[in-house]
Amino acid sequence: MDIILFLAHSEEDGALGQPAREALGAAVELSQALRGTLVAAVYGATVQPAADAIANCGASRFLAVAGEDFASARYATNAAACEALIRAAQATIVITAATSRSSRITAGVTLRVGGCVDTHVTGIAADSGSVTLTRWFYRQRIEASLTRTQRPWVLLLDPSAHAAWQGESGSVTPEPIAVPVSESMRRTTVRGTITPPADQQTIRPDAKLLFVAGAGWTKKQKDGQTHVPEAETIIVDFLKKSKASLGSSKSLVEMSGENQSALRFMSHLNQVGQTGATPRHPKGLSACCHGEEPHTVGWRFIGERRAINLDPNCGWARGKADVLYVADAFEVMSKVNALLGS
């Protein structure tokens, strides 16, 4: 019988993050489909809030590695914790969220336990006892279904690919799993984290809205002039107020490389599309972007798509958007900012 291990690290406050809850949702579904045994394991400085939050998930065992040694994203101690948890659970399938912390260690941990690992998993299904995962290849153009016989099989589930587990919290005392930590494992110390202020961090995977800016923001407008500083102000103001994540078309991000007048906060990391990112957000709003196929292919995981363009025959009008506003984005977004207030 399969033993499905849900493996997660706790957050700073000891709770579970959203990606971990999604991985738990997938693990619960898989264990039910396989009629297997579900085991939940958490590691981190403090794990009790996380364990209590998932006390009613149906796991037959709750395992934990807790302590200051496991507080930060340090490879040596985190990998040792995960290896110990997988061995203690005798897991055949391990489901863990592809956070940056777990993604760095999972391949190494899998090697130590003699298993195999698959990354960027977007779906996990069980059919007549056989487990199949889905993931995308070649810039999201080919979707593959994979199955493997080697065990343990470790699956890194991409965030936002599965519904999060929803259930009542409760109270559970996890079994502590001992992990010897030598001095050499403590050689790396995390002295702190530096993150850009919220208004400079434009890529926000958890945002409800993706706002995509296109090259039109930098083009000559009806007065025959460009209005790049004004475009910057409008976009930054909207991002601050809406907390949307910022995407871009390829043309716009490439302008800065060609020394053309472009939006200063835009980088290649913002690019959405065939040669860019394929973000996942419930809603998307595009402004001043033409909506060509190589761009819109990056919108395939966006729930509701809207676009603002002066051109009624732009790509968005050809089945790429649910709603197209044929309007001047400078005017529309200024009004939206005014409505959103200060």
Q: How many angstroms separate the Cα of 336 from the Cα of each of 126, 202, 268, 339?
A: 46, 19, 27, 5
- Least distance from ligand FAD to the Cβ atom of residue 272, Å: 6
Listing DSSP states for 114-169 in one string gives T-EEEEEEEEEEEETTEEEEEEEETTTTEEEEE----SSEEEEEPTTSSPPP----
Q: Which x/- pattern over 69-108 shows residues binding ligand FAD (rule: CB under 6 A)?
A: ----------------------------------------
Decide: is 271 part of the binding site for ligand FAD (CB under 6 A). Answer: yes
Which sign does the torsion angle of CA 60, 47, 113, 149 carry? positive
Decide: is 219 part of the binding site for ligand FAD (CB under 6 A). Answer: yes
Instruction: Return d(Cα 46, Cα 18) in angstroms, integer.
Output: 17
Binding to ligand FAD (CB under 6 A) within 237-266 occurs at 249-252
Q: At CB < 8 A and 24+ separation, what contacts does 292-296 make?
A: 294/250, 295/214, 295/249, 295/250, 296/320
Decide: is 216 part of the binding site for ligand FAD (CB under 6 A). Answer: yes
Interface with ligand FAD: number of residues (CB under 6 A): 30
Decide: is 214 part of the binding site for ligand FAD (CB under 6 A). Answer: yes
- Least distance from ligand FAD to the Cβ atom of residue 268, Å: 10
Q: Which x/- pattern over 294-313 shows residues binding ligand FAD (rule: CB under 6 A)?
A: xx--x---------xxxx--
Decide: is 275 part of the binding site for ligand FAD (CB under 6 A). Answer: yes
Q: Residue 122 or residue 278: which is nearer to ligand FAD going by CB?
A: 278
Binding to ligand FAD (CB under 6 A) within 13-72 occurs at none
Decide: is 274 part of the binding site for ligand FAD (CB under 6 A). Answer: yes
Q: Residue 17 or residue 284: which is nearer to ligand FAD going by CB?
A: 284
Token output for 226: 């460009």
- Give the residue ranges of DSSP H helices in the chain: 18-34, 48-53, 75-89, 100-112, 228-242, 250-257, 293-296, 329-340
Decide: is 143 part of the binding site for ligand FAD (CB under 6 A). Answer: no
Instruction: Return d(Cα 327, Cα 323) in angstroms, integer.
Output: 12
Query: Interface with ligand FAD by CB under 6 A: which residues?
Result: 214-216, 219, 221, 249-252, 271-276, 288-290, 292, 294-295, 298, 308-311, 314, 328-330
